[in-house]
Amino acid sequence: MQLTEKQKRNLELQAIEVRQSIIDMLEDAGSGHTAGSLDMADIFTALYFHVAKHDPKNPEWPERDRIILSNGHIVPVRYATMAHAGYFPIQELKTLRTFGSRLQGHPERTHLPGLETTSGPLGSGLSQAAGMAYAAKMDKRNHHIFCLMSDGEMQAGNIWEAAMFAHAHALDNLIGIVDRNYIQINGRTEDVMPIEPFAEKWESFGWRVIEINGHRMDAIVEACEAAKAHTGSPVVIIAHTIPGKGVPEIEFDHEWHGKAPSQEQQDRWLKDLRTLKGKMSASHYE
Amino acid sequence: MLNPQLYLHTDTLQGGDMPRKPSRDGFGKGLVELGKRDDRVVALCADLAESTRMLEFKTIFPDRYVELGVAEQNLAAVASGMAAAGKIPFIASYASFSPGRNNEQIRTTIALNHMPVKIIGSHAGLSVGPDGATHQALEDVGLMRMLPHMTVVQPCDAEQARLATEALLDVDGPAYVRLSRAAFPVFTTAETPFEIGKAQEMYVTENPQAGIIATGALVHTALLAAHSLRAEGIEVSVMNIHTIKPLDIPAVVALAKRAGALITCEEHQVAGGLGSLIAETVAAHHPVPMEYIGVHDQFGQSGEPDELMKHYGLDVSDIVRAVKKVIERK
């Protein structure tokens, strides 16, 4: 079902709040991955606030949709979205990457309810998601498994082992979402190790491919709904995103893959986001 | 003499004429038994169903058998996902590939993630034989015992492999089981007790001059060595460490105290294997002179298992020599 204008606006405002939290927590931590966390804020917001079946008060609810984050380094966006969705107090985001925190530098399932798995080393999340999808089919459960991946990790062979497996077993309850932001630590993906022709790779592995602008709420929701409705094969959503999205001065810059903002940058970026949010809210009430 | 409380086969010390089976056979039987007992048990295999002995499970429970093809990284991580969904996956391949090739997936998605995946590494050790060094895993125990949360088991024969497999159902968290391709004497019996984490003193003597601590197929070799030493008037005890982790520390320390000297025997690199483990343990609790039977920083090669055991110094005569040497050092 299409988003109403009001739903779309609310999700967009929510995504801005998630971005604000990401900037805050990364500055507090003094390290972490900024670009990918920011560029996935829209998709995480759409998943947690509209698309996925889940219950923050009951993270182990058996019928929940599973959200697997394969590229664990962008976990700030997941923590921020989960906190805003009610899994834990927003205040706790300040503990990111600190000793004794439930918010480990890379996500650890045993530390925080609702994470589903432990990840960070790239390339193995899709296999885990496929295992969950396979088990769900064995048990005739009808939830979906969303697996979020980076484009850089498409260079890992394990991804394609999983892609082959999911196709072989027609895991149509499995939905991959690739953050196609064209950057990785060493530079642009196509310079480091090209992954193009990318959509064709997935198609040739037997997956249904949907390509979207990963910052358009209606497109994200529509693609996820189409993926859930699709039967007979797994689906991958290739989400074209802008690394650092929401902070114009760092957008597209691969140097921001793995570093955190300074306090001065934090102040400036948050001010810009507040202004943007103000404009959006104002236009909402026009 | 053989420990009467363990009900070992009466021909155990006769050497050559014992019935022989590969320990992987016992795993296959144990897995089928588990399949009947608990429908959460699923079997995942990377194109080696027959040689890892998963085939019988596949035949009886086709809906609970998952074929991965030649993809060991996927094998480990898919199993992690199935475990997260409530299954108890057993994953089987050759030890060189799993936990060899997929070590990081095992570390992150199974061990750190604390998932009850049971990793079956068959074709471990030199006794793989003609296939050569690529397929003779000699590092797998080291890789697995370094991982927090991991239980590590190496049964001494096919019958114990069956019991160990069945016992894994009650192990909370991940486990690794190391199995052999080659047929070795089956000297434990249906009456022999088995408990994960409990060492078994198989050859007992009142005043041992040395203690032999062995694992896997080398346990039987060590028993033959003890028997032969007795004929020469040298008394030793032999302990079977089927559970490498968690180690039965009290039993090992007690043997070190009683015997005053130890020899470790394994079909694995001494560095990182049982030799390291026992040395670490007695150094902390009761240091005694030690000798190490095992592979010393070398790769294997093609040959028949017997030839390789002789070449790498894992034979009865090698153990006898090591015992005499360690007694001299007391």
Residue A46 neighbours by CB under 8 Å, 6+ apart: A11, A217, A220, A221, A224
Residues A253-274 have pLDDT tens digits of 989 989 999 999 999 999 999 9
Q: What residues of chain B, 66 to 95, have a C-beta less than 8 Å from chain A?
A: 66, 68-69, 71, 73-74, 76-87, 89
Query: Which residues of chain A make contact with B69, given a CB cutoff of 8 A?
Result: 161, 164-165
CB B288 within 8 A of CB B254: no
Question: pTM of the prediction?
Answer: 0.95
pLDDT mean over B5-19: 89
Q: How far apart are CA B122 and CA B90, in angstroms?
A: 12
For A226-235, what is the mean pLDDT? 98
ipTM of the complex: 0.94
**In chain B, where are the structural domains located?**
21-185, 197-328
Going by pLDDT thresholds of 50, 70 and 90, the confidence category of residue A284 is: low
Over residues A145-192, the pLDDT tens digits come to 999 999 999 999 999 999 999 999 999 999 999 999 999 999 999 999
Contact A161 B73 (CB under 8 A): yes
Residues of B in contact with A121 (CB under 8 A): 104, 108
Selection from A23, A94, A92, A19 nearest residue A259 by Cα? A23
Which CATH fold would you assign to the domain B197-328? Rossmann fold (3.40.50)
Rg over alpha carbons for chain B, rounded to the nearest Å, is: 19
CB atoms A117 and B109 under 8 Å: yes
Chain A nearest CA to B221, separation (Å): 41
Which residues of A have a CB under 8 Å from any CB of B? 108-110, 116-121, 123-125, 127-136, 138-139, 157-158, 161-162, 164-165
Contact B74 A129 (CB under 8 A): no
Report the pLDDT averaged over residues A24-36: 94
What average pLDDT does the segment A114-139 reach? 97
The token pair that represents A85 in the structure block = 């969705």
Nearest CA in chain B to A116: B84
Task: Give the whole-angstrom CA distance, residue A276 versus residue B42.
Answer: 52
Contact call for B85 and A162, based on CB within 8 A: no
Structure tokens, B183: 């047929």
Single-letter code of the amino acid located at B214: A
User: Could you tell me the pLDDT band of residue B17, with boundaries at 50, 70 and 90?
Assistant: confident
Task: Identify the pLDDT of residue B270.
Answer: 98
Q: Give me the residue from A117, A127, A136 closest to B113, CB to CB.
A: A117
- Establish if B154 touches chain A: CB-CB under 8 angstroms: no
Q: Which residues contact B59 (CB under 8 A, 6 or more apart)?
A: none
pLDDT of residue A286: 45
Structure confidence at residue A215 (pLDDT): 97
> Which chain B residue shows the shortest CA-CA distance from A160?
B74
Tell me which residue of B3, B269, B262, B304 sits closest to B131, measured CA to CA.
Answer: B304
Per residue in A162-172, pLDDT tens?
999 999 999 99
Q: Is the pLDDT of residue B222 over 80?
A: yes
Share of chain A above pLDDT 90, in %: 94
Q: Please indicate whether, in this complex, the C-beta atoms of B108 and A118 are within 8 angstroms of each other.
A: yes
**Domain made up of A5-285: CATH architecture:** 3-Layer(aba) Sandwich (3.40)
pLDDT score for B14: 86
Mean pLDDT taken over chain B: 97
CA distance, residue A51 to nearest chain B CA (Å): 21
**Percent of chain B at pLDDT exceeding 70:** 99
Please say whether the beta carbons of B141 and B268 come within 8 A. Answer: yes
**Yes or no, beta carbons of A131 and B85 under 8 Å apart:** yes
Strand pairing partners for B293?
B265
Mean pLDDT over B237-257 rounds to 98
Give the pLDDT score at B16: 66
What does pLDDT average to over chain A?
96
Closest residue in B to A117 (Cα) is: B113
Q: Which of A66, A67, A161 to mutate to test the interface with B (most CBs of B within 10 A)?
A: A161
Q: CA-nearest residue of chain B to A136?
A: B85
Q: How far apart are CA A119 and CA A108, in angstroms?
A: 7
Which residue of chain A is at minimal alpha-carbon distance from B105?
A: A124
3-state secondary structure A180-191: ECCEECCEEHHH
Set of chain B residues whose Cβ sits within 8 Å of the Cβ of A137: none
* Cβ distance of B109 and A158 shorter than 8 Å: no
How far apart, in Å, are the Cα atoms of B87 and each of A138, A146, B76?
10, 20, 14
Task: Give percent of chain A above pLDDT 70.
Answer: 98
Q: How far apart are CA A245 and CA A272, in angstroms?
A: 12
Pairs of residues, one from chain A and one from chain B, whose beta carbons lie less than 8 Å apart: 100
Is B72 strand, coil or helix? helix
Which pLDDT value is given to residue A281?
A: 80
In this structure, which topology does domain B21-185 adopt according to CATH?
Rossmann fold (3.40.50)
pLDDT at A70: 98
B73 and A164 within 8 Å at the Cβ level: the answer is no
Contacts (Cβ under 8 Å, ≥6 apart) of A6: A284
- pLDDT of residue A56 exceeding 60: yes
- Is residue A182 left, alpha or beta, with left meaning phi > 0 and alpha meaning psi from -120 to 50? left
Length of chain B: 330
Domain ranges, ordered by start, for chain A: 5-285
